Structure formats: structure tokens, C-alpha cells
């Protein structure tokens, strides 16, 4: 599924033009992106939570050469799917 397909599904449900729908879907993801970039969590009930985690620097290795190197401290995004979503996904099998 691509963003275009999401737009298509949303378009069928709301009474806006295609162009307006595209802009609004973009707005939703822009807001989520900016919120996460500010370090704030985004929690979507029934879907999952996005959270920015601070990682400390650590020693690692280049998997190709085996050379030891320092992996710098960084902020990473983690997604934790909702329990309901996981449950439903495994019920349908």
C-alpha cells in the first residue's frame, strides 16, 4: 500500500476533492513527523505508538571489515504495535 492508495481510501469516505484529500493526508503525516522530531511520542489507539528513544554511544564493528569503531549516540524512532492490532493479526491466521 502506498500513500496514493491511502488517499484513494480516504477520498471514498470524506467529501473533499482529490486534491484536498492529498493535501490533508500529507498534513497528517507532516504533523506526526514534526511531533516526533521534537522528541514527543505519538500514540494512535488501536494502531500503535511511535516513540523517540535516545541511544548512547557504543563500540561496534564494521560487519564487512570487522574493524572496531565507535557508534555515536543517536536518537532513533521505535514503533510499538498496539496489543489489539497484534491480537487481531494473529487471530486471522
Binding residues for another protein, rule: CB under 8 A, are: 1-3, 5-6, 9-10, 13-14, 16, 23-25, 27-29, 31-33, 35-48, 50, 52, 54, 74-77, 79, 81, 85-86, 88-90, 92-93
Grid look-up 523517540 returns 52
- Please report how close the Cβ of residue 66 comes to another protein at its closest, in angstroms: 25
- Please report how close the Cβ of residue 22 comes to another protein at its closest, in angstroms: 12
Nearest to 4 by CA among 28, 47, 31, 21: 21
Nearest to 35 by CA among 68, 65, 1, 77: 77
CA distance 30 to 32: 5
Query: Which of 69, 73 has the CB closer to another protein?
Result: 73
Amino acid at each position: 500500500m502506498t500513500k496514493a492508495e491511502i488517499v484513494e481510501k480516504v477520498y471514498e469516505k470524506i467529501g473533499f476533492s482529490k486534491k484536498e484529500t492529498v493535501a490533508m493526508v500529507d498534513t497528517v503525516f507532516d504533523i506526526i513527523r514534526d511531533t516526533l522530531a521534537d522528541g514527543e511520542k505519538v500514540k494512535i489507539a488501536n494502531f500503535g505508538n511511535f516513540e523517540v528513544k535516545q541511544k548512547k554511544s557504543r563500540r561496534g564493528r564494521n560487519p564487512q571489515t570487522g574493524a572496531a569503531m565507535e557508534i555515536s549516540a543517536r536518537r532513533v524512532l521505535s514503533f510499538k504495535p498496539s496489543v489489539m492490532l497484534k491480537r487481531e493479526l494473529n487471530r486471522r491466521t
